[in-house]
Amino acid sequence: MLEIEDLQAGYGGSPVLKGVSLSVGEGEFISVVGPNGAGKTTLFKAVSGTVRPSAGRIRFGGTDLAEVPVAKRPHLGIAHVPEGRQLFPSLTVMENLEMGASTAAGQRDWARNLARVLDWFPILAERRNQLAGTLSGGQQQMVAVARGLTSAPKLLMLDEPSMGLAPAMAEFIFARLVEIHRESRLTILLVEQRVAEALEFADRGYVLEAGRIVLEGTHAVLSADDRVRQAYLGM
Amino acid sequence: MMLQLEGILQALNAGLLLGAHYGLMCVGLSLIFGIMRVINFAHGDFMMLGMYVAFHLFTLLGLQMVFGSAAGPFIAALLAGPVLFLFGYIAQRFLISRVTGTRIGSLEGEGHYAQLILTLGLSLILQSGGQILFGSVPVSIPSDISSTAWELELAGGDVVVFVNQARAVGALIAVAVVALLVLFIGRSRLGKSMRAAADNVQAALYMGLDVDRAHRITFGLGIGVTAIAGGLLASSYPFTPYVGLEYVIIMYAGVVLGGLGSTLGAFWGGLLIGVIQQGSALLLPTQLQNTAIFVVFLLVVFLRPQGLLGRSAERT
Ligand SMILES: Nc1ncnc2c1ncn2[C@@H]1O[C@H](COP(=O)(O)OP(=O)(O)OP(=O)(O)O)[C@@H](O)[C@H]1O
Ligand SMILES: [Mg+2]
């Protein structure tokens, strides 16, 4: 579904991604882990188009994304739940979700998607008319995920959904992601610093360090790797 | 005693009617300054342009003939709205967009200097351009009802309040336009995406919203709405190409009073300024009316910086 080949990208001349290749198949749950500044967010931005690659190719469902402007990509079925949540703070929870449903598919299946999303995150139903900027961090993250889902995406990309959350809240979010993946068979690409959880729930994982993929494989393969055990799992 | 009461009621009535016009102006600016967070120095000058458009629609283009000189001025003011919407839309498309929206996405602070310089320049161009094009002799768009009044008899006829008809009609139109606009911004999908695009450009792009278009419509609406307010005022007040200067400060004060980002709040802010201005005439000489506005403005900024009706949703 998503094929990235030898991707290079950076900011104003300083390269961040130095040739990244990865692929996400339909229905897969893929995790990308790596230290601060490895380029995980940059990778996501290249996929959704706010960072322009200097070399390499990104194909989504057979379409070369280089030809597709940023604001058109969500309409292909890519939902980006960005790092730091990036809600519309002066819009209500409900209005945030409506903005998610700006795609044709999101509009068509709005009622059904909304019902499902509120099922997964019931607190949002209670807070539907509250301004998103006044919610707690965990609730804001729920809105961010829910807003991605109401676009009825084919691929859900989540950039550190646990960032800044208390452990219990982070676990809740992870549990929901697993549930969402299981119930809807949605393709998920997750970036995380909580490596243990991210690898545990994923079908496959990639380790990104200093702009390069240094390791990839299934949970079993990665967690058997000595470097991963030492650097990320603290074993 | 009755005389005093009469004076107060008269001032209140004048203040509310004029304030409704101010409120409409402020609502226009609030779309641009409050929602888009663009500092538009030229807002008053766009309004001036709207007033001249209304004036020429009325005189040259025959609205006077078609609708008569009672209703004609009001229809001219309403029509100036769409004309200036287009003007604002194009200004945003080719000029303002260079210092806002997707282009600056992340450079909030740096964007503001460029906005100041660009819109200040635009303001100067509009003023001197206006003078070349329209001359500096004051004109107005008097309606047949500009100097007629309804007499309201209160307290069994002891107190009589005069309600200027042109200003009352203008105020009603202003309230109706504000109501429509508040509904549009609050309820319609386009209105919501305008607010979303102003809140967070990058997130709006991730939702697949056409951010540039949303900004163009917001800017156009802001200018168009203020132009209608200017056109309505022109039935009572003569104006020149420099009229913008008189109102631009009132508009910013109203928007801040009402709480940045609240469309309806901006209307209340403008209304309040009208009442203060006319009310202060009871106590102060005319030259000090605007001083009264600023004293109240500074007090509010000092005591309640989020505005009288401000909500405090953090913006990033
Ligand atoms: N807007 C930007 N302009 C310039 N450099 C940037 C920008 N954003 C990120 N960088 C740099 O690019 C590198 C990679 O950043 P990126 O945000 O992709 O890392 P990350 O893996 O997501 O890290 P984190 O785990 O902290 O989120 C870092 O060195 C960072 O300083
Ligand atoms: Mg990151």
pLDDT digit string, tens, across residues A75-102? 999 999 999 999 999 999 999 999 999 9
Q: Measured from the CA of A35, which atom of ligand 1 is nearest?
A: 25
> What's the token pair of residue B309?
């009706």
Q: Which of residues 98-137 of A touch B (CB under 8 A)?
A: 98-100, 102-103, 131-134
Residue of A nearest to B190 (CA): A99
Cβ distance B203 to A100 less than 8 Å, yes or no, reads: no
Q: Which residue has a Cα nearest atom 29 of ligand 1?
A: A37
Contact of B26 with B255, CB cutoff 8 Å: yes
Note the pLDDT of residue B107: 43
Contacts of A48 in chain B (CB under 8 A): 205-206
Q: How far apart are CA B254 and CA B268, in angstroms?
A: 8
Residue A123 above 60 pLDDT? yes
Show the domains of chain A with their CATH numbers: 1-76+193-235 (3.40.50.300)
Under-50 pLDDT residues of chain B: 104-108, 312-316
Q: Which residue has a Cα nearest atom 5 of ligand 1?
A: A11
Q: What is the mean pLDDT of residues A123-151?
A: 96
CA distances from B238 to B17, B48, B76, B230, B235 (A): 17, 11, 15, 11, 8
Contacts of A73 in chain B (CB under 8 A): 208
Contact of B123 with B41, CB cutoff 8 Å: yes
Q: What is the mean pLDDT of residues A97-126?
A: 96
Taking the CA atoms of residue B144, residue B146, residue B147 and residue B148 in that order, the dihedral angle to the nearest 10 degrees is: 70
* Between A58 and B291, the higher pLDDT residue: A58
For this complex, say whether ipTM is above 0.85. yes
> What's the token pair of residue B133?
């094009």
Q: Measured from the CA of A12, which atom of ligand 1 is nearest?
A: 4
Residue of B nearest to A101 (CA): B207
> What's the token pair of residue A190?
């997750």
Q: What's the pTM value of the predicted model, to 2 decimals? A: 0.88
Contact of A24 with A2, CB cutoff 8 Å: yes
Strands (E), B84-214: 149-154, 159-164
Note the pLDDT of residue B22: 97
Note the pLDDT of residue B309: 67
- Give the amino acid at B297: F
Q: What is the mean pLDDT of residues A36-63?
A: 93
Q: Ligand 1 test: best mutation among A32, A40, A160, most atoms within 8 Å of CB? A: A40
Indicate which of A91, A99, A129 best probes the interface with B, i.e. most B CBs within 10 Å of its own CB.
A99
Q: How confident is the model at residue A224 (pLDDT cuts 50, 70, 90)?
A: confident
Note the pLDDT of residue B103: 52
